Structure 1
Amino acid sequence: MSFLHSISSTAATPLRWSFPNCCLWEGIECDSNVRVTQIQLPFRGLKGSLSPSLGNLTHLSHLNLSHNWLSGPLPKEFFRSITHLTTLDLSFNVLSGEIPLSLSFPSSIQVADISSNHFSGMVRTSFVQMASNLMIFNVSNNSFTGPIPTSICTISNHTRVLDFSSNDFNDQLPRGFGRCYALEVLRAGFNNLSGLLPSDIYNVTTLREISFPVNRLRGPIGGGVVQLSNLTILHLHSNKMSGLLPRDLGKLSKLEQLDLHSNSLTGSLTPSLMNCRNLITLSLRENFLEGDISTLDFSMLKQLRTLDLSNNHFRGNIPEGLYLCKSLIAVRLANNQLEGQISPGMLTLQSLSYIALSNNRLANMTGAINILRGCKNLRVVILAKNFFGEMLPDDKHILDINSFKKLKVLALGGCSLRGQLPRWIAEITELEILDLSYNRISGSIPGWLGTLPKLFYIDLSVNLLSGKFPQELCTLPALTSEHIALQVNQNYLELPIFVQPTGRTNLAYVHLSHMPPAIYLGSNSLNGDIPTTIGQLKFLHVLDLSNNSFSGIIPYQISYLRNLEKLDLSWNNLSGEIPVSLRSLYFLSSFSVAHNALEGMIPSGTQLQSFPDSSYEGNPGLCGFVYQRKCLPVTSFNNQRDVQGENGLQIPRLYVAVGLGYATGFVAVCTTLLFHSPWRHAYFSALIHLKDNVYVIIAMNMARLQRRR
């Protein structure tokens, strides 16, 4: 009852704890003597603190309060009277604080899981010094610091699972795990651990998983690792490991996942690796590995689903044996020195969903597209930086225009491809991302591009495109309709997609839905006005029209793009003023209108003033505090909101104010002259003179507006 009073529940159905006999309560079990032995209340939306009163349940053996919202620290004397506790699961709560010095598990404890909370401080030996029967100890996903306590291995001979991952442990990875003779799973990834791999772990032949990714470990993978005949998972990626791969890796016949990417490994792939017939995932990207991979026989890896050898120095052709790995779902061989052509053997990989071969020396793009069209399950095709100078395959060279039915990503950038945008792309109705940047594609942007129902990311920058911004592009369904925007692929990609925005490092995306909706048309020869209908693209995050020949004014309708994070209109022929309405773009983190013919005051008191001078340079008529160029007093009206004309044309209040000033003066003078008869003849003369002046002023301003139009 004390525990009940210390918590509340947000679950849809309340706890059924109304019976007089607590042994009939939901989640409570008792022994034959009517003593509480188990409390099983996971996923019940419990809020509140962990009541010390639970420590009075002296026959409690199982306590599972996981996946709730319990907060606060662990009670200091919590385990003093619970001497029969075998299973403790407090995972996925918001418990916090350091583990009290006086707190120690009872000797009966077998499973202790306090993962995914907010605990901090050190995991001291005193916490586990009595846990002689401990089998599973999980403190992952907290904020623990200091060294990892390997004393657990001397206290308990039964330890099977140790999980220290996702904390702030910051010492060297210690020796001592070799004394855990029954250990099967050892995890300490995502910390700040340094030093060498402790060689004593190679003596623990019961190990099935070693997982130390995303640390600062260095040195080689010792040859002793091949003694771990039961090993199925070896994750050491994102460290500073160096040296050669162990020569006899093939002895690890049960190995299913080998992930060593993002290290500094050297040498060639050992042929014995092809004996690991149970391999499902092989990831060695971002190392310094080399050699001719076409000599390797992948045909024995029948279970292989993911192969990532990108960002190394491999040479040769795509291995023919790879086409016999019928379970392959994802293949990435990008950023190597491969050459030759994509073989028709690729058609045997009917489960293939992801292929990335960019930045190699492949030839015959038309043949490659025709072959890949036959892989019915392809969702991602990345062939950038190959096929240099070839023609972009057109409709008459594509054998089957009705394939690529599942394709969501097509990247053919950086190939210097010639020709025009082919109509067959319009038939890829599931397409969400299209990258044809850094080519020599000419002609106009076809209107049918705006009909692709799910397209939300277009990169046609650095080409030879001409003509106007197509109105059809302003009606892209995925950028104008919330219903369609929510249909962007939400599933995990088999491998991440790397995108390198200008001036930034690579960004990795494992969900297409996480990529910012974008239109990149920079560095072409596009001209004409920026269409006012561009304001319909309300889900757009990036708009880059830089380095073109766009003219006219900046349409105020751009301010309707409230999700815009980057706007680049630099190096064009735009004139007029910067619309004050752009200050409503609160999410802008990158902005440039440099090198145009803009004039007037940069809108003050807005986010637009947070950008550097370089965002505005090359516009002699611009002024304002941010640009360090003082505005003349008469232009102070530019700070006020623009008045909109009937056609969306902006008529600054400056012109309205000048017109009203002349009108007011005109009326005042005329009234005075009218009622003083001696001046009646002068009245008619002044009337004509002032009327002409007003007409002149109006004519001058209308001419200026017409130029802006």
Structure 2
Amino acid sequence: MDFSFEINSTSTLTMLFLLLSLFASSPLGIIKLSSCSEVHTNVKCIHTEREALLSFKNGLTDPSGRLSSWVSEDCCQWRGIECNNKSYHVTKLDLRNAGLGGKINASLIHLKHLNYLDLSANDFIGIQIPEFFGMLENLIYLNLSYASFSGRIPPHLGNLSSLIHLDLKDNGYLYPNLDYFWPLSSRNMDWLSSLSSLKYLDMTGVNFSGVGADWLQAVNTLPSLLELHLYSCELESLPLSLPFVNFTSLSVFDLSFNQFNSSIPRWLFNLTSLTKLDLRGNALQGTIPYDFVNLRNIEDLDLGGNQKISGQLPSFFGIFCKLKTLDLSMNNFSGSIGSFLGNFSTSLNNSMESLDLSSNRLAGKIPDSLGRLGSLTNLNLHFNSFSGSIPSSIGNLSSLQVFSLFGNEMNGTIPESLGQLSKLVSLNLEWNFGEGVITEAHLMNLTRLEGFAVTTDKNQSLIFNVTYDWVPPFKLKYLELESCLIGSKFPIWLQVQSELTEVTLRNVGISGAILEDWFSKISSQLTILDHQTTRSAGSFHNTCPIPSNIGDLMPKLRILDLSKNHLFGTIPLSILKIEVLEILSLGKNQLSGELPHHWNDSQFLKVVDIAYNNLSGKIPNSMGFLNSLEVLVLSNNNLYGEIPSSLRNCSLWSIDLGGNYLSGNLPSWIGSHVLMLRLRSNLFSGIIPRQWCNLPSLHILDLAQNNLYGGIPDCLDNLTALIYGYNNSYFSVYNYQEETILVTKGQELLYGRILEFVNSIDLSGNHLTGEIPNELSRLIELGTVNLSINHLTGNIPQNIGNLRWLESLDLSKNSLSGPIPKSLSSMTFLAHLNLSFNNLVGKIPSGNQLQTLNDASIYKGNPSLCGSPLPTKCPGDETFDGPTITNGSVDDKQDGDYYERLWFYVSIGLGFVVGFWSVCCTLLVKKSWRHWYFQFCDDIKDRISLIIALKVVHLKRKYGLEKIEVC
């Protein structure tokens, strides 16, 4: 028994030893025994953290099912979750681009060891960034970009002292019902000062308006910062001084598109580690300081968009031996670039790869020193005023891939050395005054050329002198030729271009069946077809119809422009099959028939321009299905009927239906985004809808020559674009330039490229009545006002002179009365004035701009007007003998005498009225005063009588008459 007990005791000890060993080997020191005696060791997730993640999940919406794996016991295996491989605490939560929404549960604070949180590219529909994020003290990476957070940035983020990477860029939320965007914002940046470990900070798009200069003080407390992105943050102050610079490790500095209005600060040049500096889109002033020489390590410098930087480009940029990209575009630089480029001498290691000086006011010739930039791959000089020829040294830029001179005044020849640029991919010489000849030598080595654009303002002044059967070494994908002579025969070098996707041929002098055959070969891949001509010899197969199966031939077209081609026939229904078509321009042809009736909402049309044809019938209701339609131009056809109300479903910015036979009342549903509304020369009747006062973007309103009646709305001052001059550059988008004819300065003028700068109201030739509303005088951006040929009465608004930019004013052939406002003389841009055939009276004002408008016809038909330039003199204008006038003109002297007499009489009248009625009203109101007043008068009367009596007695005594008695 004793022995047996000993053995059993030994077995028990052995079993206990094994159990203890197993316990010690478990990561958590826990063994779970199931009912089947199985040991499970695969679950690693901390229970409390799993529960926290499930609570977080329950608050979210997950339409994409990204969190579908969050169901198993082990949360460390869930998608987007990472755990520490020893402690199994959750350390990383990565849910970027998951399509999540809803609310963020505060249960995340139980993830005590979380160091990486990425919720970027989700849709939290305008909620604020949770304050409890500031309690996740172990975070080193926080990315909330593109997540639709809005409101204030919680200053509690300043508690994240271990944070290295913070990305809040491009947040904010657009409330669709309110049409209001609520950005992410912050009243200050003080909370940044505690993030001393921060190396990457991106707050692009955060609204910091009102922060002032404090932002820089906060940034200066971040000594470890390597990248700082504050693009488009509405920062308003760029301090010129900083006692010391603490963030000298900065490599990337982006302050572009803010609202600075200063020179470039001196402290900037202490940032000697910079490799990229971006200051585009600000309002920086002065010259670029020479201290940029200190930035010896910079590789990318971008100062584009500073509208007020002025002066010539400095020459110090030659010091930048490592500079790779220099972008000074969209500034106001002027002068030449000779000395600027001259400093890039051949002794330097020229590393410059991209040079962009576009959209400035640079002028003069392009210097030969350009050829020293042997590493250039991108050279952009467009939208300046360069002249002369392209320098022959251009051939030295053997690495050049992109070259653009678009929109300059180059008036010389194109050098043959251009043909040496064997790596050139894109060559854009559009809108210059090119002349001379392009030969095979210009093109023979351009083996990689894919884009080629040559257009001139002179009619066919640039000639392609290329052998008819020459085959080039390149295959173009983009071709634009305008107003240059290709030849009457269609050359082989164009016929072999079988890979083209974008084609523009305008006024190039080619025609015939060969052209049509070529189009048929490349039609299936074309995305842009723009073929125009100014003469029949260059038309699309002379005069012909549009192919009936064009929609099948060219299914990939995005832009179809066949305007000015003498095309006849009807508009093919197959055009509506081109589902990706964005621009349809068929204007100025001879098309007839009706508009297609089966427009559908699957189309992406943004522009429909079929003006100046012979179309008839009504505007189809189905055009209202074109939800993307922004520009509708159907002017000068034979359309009739009413404007369909279905068009309210479109996104119209520009409506031009003038010159038709449309009738009915003016539509009140016109959308608030409309920039131009031109309905002139139709048969519209009724009143001008008062709802049109709620068109804040309207720049052009032309309702002339209709049958409208009633008054001009007195709410015109709600047309805020005509008060503040909002941007209206939508007239030239999508490779389409809208053109329209407006009546201004007494004549019809065609507006194209400058249409976006026109501000005009034309209500002439109707039956409008009533007075000109004073609110018109508030539309200070107006350039043209035409209210002629109506039945308007009353006075011209006295403050009409407030229209400081007005160039043309026509109020003729109405029934206006009263004097001409003297404020008219304060207008400095007025070039055309017509006030004839009204009932105006008085003297014509003089001075300033009115002195130049001395045509008597301006005022004819107003019999009561007088003064220059009319022959009728005003009262007081007659000559007289008197003192010599030494100062001022005769008119000024006579005007002064007239007004002195006038004010003298007015003063007498006012004095009498005020004095008389002040006494009478007082006596009528207060009885006691009335008694006192008459008692006073009686006393005065008695005193006067006594004085007279005493004087009589005195006189009698003096002359001895006191004894004479009167019987």
| Cα distance, 1:630 vs structure 2 | 3.3
| Cα distance, 1:615 vs structure 2 | 2.0
Match of 1:420 in 2: 664
Provide the rounded CA distance (Å) in 2 between the counterparts of 1:624 and 1:479.
Answer: 36
Q: How many residues are aligned here?
A: 619
| Cα distance, 1:318 vs structure 2 | 1.4
Match of 1:258 in 2: 503
2:600 aligned with 1:350, yes or no?
no
- The CA deviation string for residues 540-572 of structure 1, in whole angstroms up to 9 with x for no partner, is 543312123334443436456566443211122
Provide the rounded CA distance (Å) in 1 between the counterparts of 2:287 and 2:769.
Answer: 63
Q: Is the 8 A contact 2:275 2:299 kept in 1?
A: yes
2:421 aligned with 1:180, yes or no?
yes
**CA shift in 2, pair 1:451/1:122, >3 Å:** closer
- The CA deviation string for residues 282-338 of structure 1, in whole angstroms up to 9 with x for no partner, is 323453323324226343433322222222311122133322221111211111101
Match of 1:404 in 2: 649
Q: Is the 8 A contact 2:551 2:577 kept in 1?
A: yes
| Cα distance, 1:437 vs structure 2 | 1.3
Q: Is the 8 A contact 1:113 1:136 kept in 2?
A: yes
Taking only aligned residues, the RMSD between alpha carbons, in angstroms, comes to: 4.7
**CA shift in 2, pair 1:347/1:657, >3 Å:** farther
Q: Is the 8 A contact 1:307 1:330 kept in 2?
A: yes
Provide the rounded CA distance (Å) in 2 between the counterparts of 1:95 and 1:487.
Answer: 24
Provide the rounded CA distance (Å) in 2 between the counterparts of 1:218 and 1:74.
Answer: 35
Q: Is the 8 A contact 2:800 2:821 kept in 1?
A: no
Match of 1:273 in 2: 519
Aligned to 1:323, what secondary structure does the other structure show? helix
Identity of aligned residues (%): 23
Q: Is the 8 A contact 1:250 1:276 kept in 2?
A: no
Aligned to 1:206, what secondary structure does the other structure show? coil
Match of 2:225 in 1: none
Q: Which amino acid aligns with 2:864?
A: G
**CA shift in 2, pair 1:638/1:337, >3 Å:** farther
What aligned pairs does 1:622-637 form with structure 2 within 5 A after superposition?
A: 622-627=865-870, 629-633=872-876
2:475 aligned with 1:233, yes or no?
no
Provide the rounded CA distance (Å) in 2 between the counterparts of 1:498 and 1:175.
Answer: 37
Q: Is the 8 A contact 2:526 2:556 kept in 1?
A: yes
Match of 1:291 in 2: 543
**CA shift in 2, pair 1:532/1:249, >3 Å:** same
Q: Which amino acid aligns with 1:574?
A: L
Q: Is the 8 A contact 2:559 2:581 kept in 1?
A: yes
Aligned to 1:312, what secondary structure does the other structure show? coil
Match of 1:104 in 2: 345
Q: Is the 8 A contact 2:251 2:273 kept in 1?
A: no
Q: Which amino acid aligns with 1:505?
A: L
Higher share in strand: 1
Q: Which runs of 5+ in 2 are unaligned?
A: 1-234, 254-271, 879-890, 914-944, 946-967
| Cα distance, 1:174 vs structure 2 | 2.7
| Cα distance, 1:96 vs structure 2 | 4.9
**CA shift in 2, pair 1:97/1:76, >3 Å:** farther
Aligned to 1:607, what secondary structure does the other structure show? helix
Q: Is the 8 A contact 1:19 1:25 kept in 2?
A: no
2:752 aligned with 1:508, yes or no?
yes
2:402 aligned with 1:161, yes or no?
yes
Q: Which amino acid aligns with 2:656?
A: A
2:326 aligned with 1:89, yes or no?
yes
Query: Which has more radius of gyration?
Result: 2
| Cα distance, 1:382 vs structure 2 | 1.4
Q: Is the 8 A contact 1:496 1:510 kept in 2?
A: no
Provide the rounded CA distance (Å) in 1 between the counterparts of 2:295 and 2:824.
Answer: 64
Match of 2:448 in 1: 206
2:859 aligned with 1:616, yes or no?
yes
Q: Which amino acid aligns with 1:329?
A: E
Q: Which amino acid aligns with 2:562?
A: L
Provide the rounded CA distance (Å) in 1 between the counterparts of 2:893 and 2:795.
Answer: 15
- The CA deviation string for residues 10-64 of structure 1, in whole angstroms up to 9 with x for no partner, is 9848899968997x45459xxxxxxx9985333286975564994996xx69463
Match of 2:621 in 1: 370
2:715 aligned with 1:475, yes or no?
yes
What aligned pairs does 1:412-561 form with structure 2 within 5 A after superposition?
A: 412-417=657-662, 419-421=663-665, 425-430=667-672, 431-441=674-684, 443-448=685-690, 450=692, 453-454=695-696, 457-465=700-708, 467-470=709-712, 473-476=713-716, 478-479=718-719, 493-494=733-734, 495-502=736-743, 503-508=747-752, 514-518=757-761, 520-531=762-773, 534-535=776-777, 540-556=782-798, 558-559=800-801
2:843 aligned to which of 601, 616, 620: 601
Normalised to the residue count of structure 2, the TM-score between the two structures is 0.55
| Cα distance, 1:166 vs structure 2 | 4.3
Q: Is the 8 A contact 1:601 1:639 kept in 2?
A: no
**CA shift in 2, pair 1:114/1:498, >3 Å:** closer
Q: Which amino acid aligns with 2:571?
A: I
Provide the rounded CA distance (Å) in 2 between the counterparts of 1:185 and 1:586.
Answer: 46
Q: Is the 8 A contact 2:315 2:343 kept in 1?
A: no
2:575 aligned with 1:322, yes or no?
yes
**CA shift in 2, pair 1:113/1:10, >3 Å:** farther
2:279 aligned to which of 43, 48, 52: 43
| Cα distance, 1:119 vs structure 2 | 5.5
Q: Is the 8 A contact 1:324 1:348 kept in 2?
A: no
- The CA deviation string for residues 480-529 of structure 1, in whole angstroms up to 9 with x for no partner, is 698998597868643222232222531125886x44142x2212344454
Q: Is the 8 A contact 1:570 1:594 kept in 2?
A: yes
**CA shift in 2, pair 1:447/1:208, >3 Å:** closer
| Cα distance, 1:601 vs structure 2 | 1.1
Q: Which amino acid aligns with 2:403?
A: L
Provide the rounded CA distance (Å) in 1 between the counterparts of 2:716 and 2:490.
Answer: 49
| Cα distance, 1:152 vs structure 2 | 3.5
Match of 2:411 in 1: 170
| Cα distance, 1:185 vs structure 2 | 1.8
Match of 2:70 in 1: none
Q: Which amino acid aligns with 2:835?
A: V
**CA shift in 2, pair 1:382/1:540, >3 Å:** same
Match of 1:680 in 2: none
Provide the rounded CA distance (Å) in 2 between the counterparts of 1:300 and 1:96.
Answer: 50
Q: Which runs of 5+ in 1 are unaligned?
A: 1-8, 29-35, 642-651, 667-676, 678-709
**CA shift in 2, pair 1:659/1:48, >3 Å:** closer
Aligned to 1:148, what secondary structure does the other structure show? coil
Q: Which amino acid aligns with 1:280?
A: T
**CA shift in 2, pair 1:230/1:654, >3 Å:** farther
Provide the rounded CA distance (Å) in 2 between the counterparts of 1:64 and 1:314.
Answer: 51
**CA shift in 2, pair 1:599/1:113, >3 Å:** same
2:642 aligned to which of 365, 390, 393: 393
Provide the rounded CA distance (Å) in 2 between the counterparts of 1:12 and 1:63.
Answer: 21
- The CA deviation string for residues 41-88 of structure 1, in whole angstroms up to 9 with x for no partner, is 33286975564994996xx69463543759655548946xx8x65735
What aligned pairs does 1:580-595 form with structure 2 within 5 A after superposition?
A: 580-595=822-837
Match of 1:307 in 2: 560
Normalised to the residue count of structure 1, the TM-score between the two structures is 0.73
**CA shift in 2, pair 1:410/1:340, >3 Å:** same
Match of 2:32 in 1: none
